Amino acid sequence: MSTTVNALLREDLRDFGGYKSARSEALSGTIWLNANESAWANPSDPGAALRRYPAPQPEALRARLAQLYGVAPAQLLIGRGSDEGIDLLVRAFCAPGRGRIVIAPPVFGMYAVCARLHGAGVVEMPLVDAPDGLRADLDAMGDAALESGASLLFLCTPGNPSGELLARDAIAALAARLRGRCLVVVDEAYLEYADAPSASTLLADHDNLAVLRTLSKAHALAAARVGCVLGAPALIEALRRCQAPYPVPQPVVEAALAALAPEALALTRSRMEAVREARARLADGLRRLPQVRRVYPSAGNFLLVRFADAGAAFAALLAAGVVVRDMRALPQLGDALRISVGTAEECRRVLAALDRLPVEAAA
């Protein structure tokens, strides 16, 4: 087992084998009577695709995802969205009631939610509102990890909601600094929109690094719930022992494989360029509106926007049938909304609705 994974894994889980399901034993035969499955298919399932429990980590999908993300199958765990990856990481690496994670708010809420549910502490090192955008201070986050003894540090790149793209060199330097002390988790839920290399290219040199990828955003499969943790084989194995016995439903395997077939993947990739263009056009349009105070640069499929009166902007959009994300409850974002980049027509609707905002709201 890699030294870092071994050193950071919860002490009480180091010899934990997890649940031994009927499918986790390496047995072979032609008559399967070891899992109390029905001997008949459901009438609604003529192909009998659903009669038996699925493989814990379906091989074909694991191989396909590994190829997609440029890692070996043993470096990849399939879960129910990257949300499950986050939860598994927190449960495996934070001692309940004692462990800690480091995050840079405002950021995706699930890191703190999983920590809270697990009784782990959350050490916050706020994003810095700089002239070039909302920036994570990786030096300060590293300091916080070392001072607090946190076992996990979450980076989000492109950042949700900041839109910030972190430099790969900076991630590598942070991982090197925290080697053996803290696992650096890089959430790349929006990386496809950024046209930038993945931090997974750093895995060979950094055994305290994990990367989260998902089919929910760029691959348009949010309802299928497929996400991956990429990391050292020892890390993947440790997380697998903490995971539910059958986390990947068979219909989901089929949907994901279909979405990753060459033609579908080519279309998905061509859409990334369209999103980047639409994002630039929407940002331009927003910057021209008098009630818009600031549009942050974004490497994702969304824009973070500050308004003179964000409440009025939210209400005007809602009145036009457009639902955006109200960010006002988040730290530093009391005047901000987050707008996903939709179709060209949907972006036009956003701009039209905001253009009709009463002038006094622009004061």
Ligand X SMILES: *Cc1c(COP(=O)(O)O)cnc(C)c1O
| Binding interface with ligand X (CB under 6 A) | 81-83, 108, 156, 160, 187, 189, 214, 216-217, 222, 227
**Nearest residue (CB) to ligand X, 64 versus 217:** 217
Strand order in the sheet with 325-326: 292-295, 302-307, 336-340, 325-326
Per-residue tokens: 355: 């253009």
Q: How far is the CB of 133 from ligand X (least distance, A)?
A: 16
| First and final C-alpha spacing in the chain | 61
Torsion on CA atoms 45, 219, 78, 97, rounded to nearest 10: -120
Closer CB to ligand X, residue 4 or residue 160?
160
Residue whose CB is less far from ligand X, 189 or 333: 189
- Residue 200 DSSP label: G
- In whole angstroms, what is the distance from residue 317 CA to residue 305 CA? 13
Q: Which residue, 160 or 291, has its beta carbon nearer to ligand X?
A: 160
Residue 221 vs 361, nearer CB to ligand X? 221
Q: CB nearest ligand X: which residue?
A: 81
Q: Smallest distance from the beta carbon of 66 to ligand X, in angstroms? A: 17
Which one, 108 or 307, has the nearer CB to ligand X?
108
Q: Cβ 158 to ligand X, closest distance in Å?
A: 8
Closest contact distance (angstroms) between CB of 286 and ligand X is: 21
- Written as one string, the DSSP assignment of 295-361 is E---SSSEEEEEETTHHHHHHHHHHTT---EE-TTSTT-TTEEEEE---HHHHHHHHHHHHTS-GGG
Retrieve residue 13's tokens. 């889980």
Residue 98: CB minimum distance to ligand X, A: 25
CA dihedral 127, 199, 253, 263 (to 10 degrees): 110
Q: How far is the CB of 83 from ligand X (least distance, A)?
A: 3
Q: Provide, rounded to whole angstroms, the least separation between the CB of residue 26 and ligand X.
A: 30
Q: 142 vs 159, which CB is nearer to ligand X?
A: 159
Q: How far apart are CA 321 and CA 317, in angstroms?
A: 6
Cβ-based burial of 125 (10 A; exposed 0-12, middle 13-18, buried ≥19): buried
Question: In which element (H, E) is residue 268 found?
Answer: helix 262-287
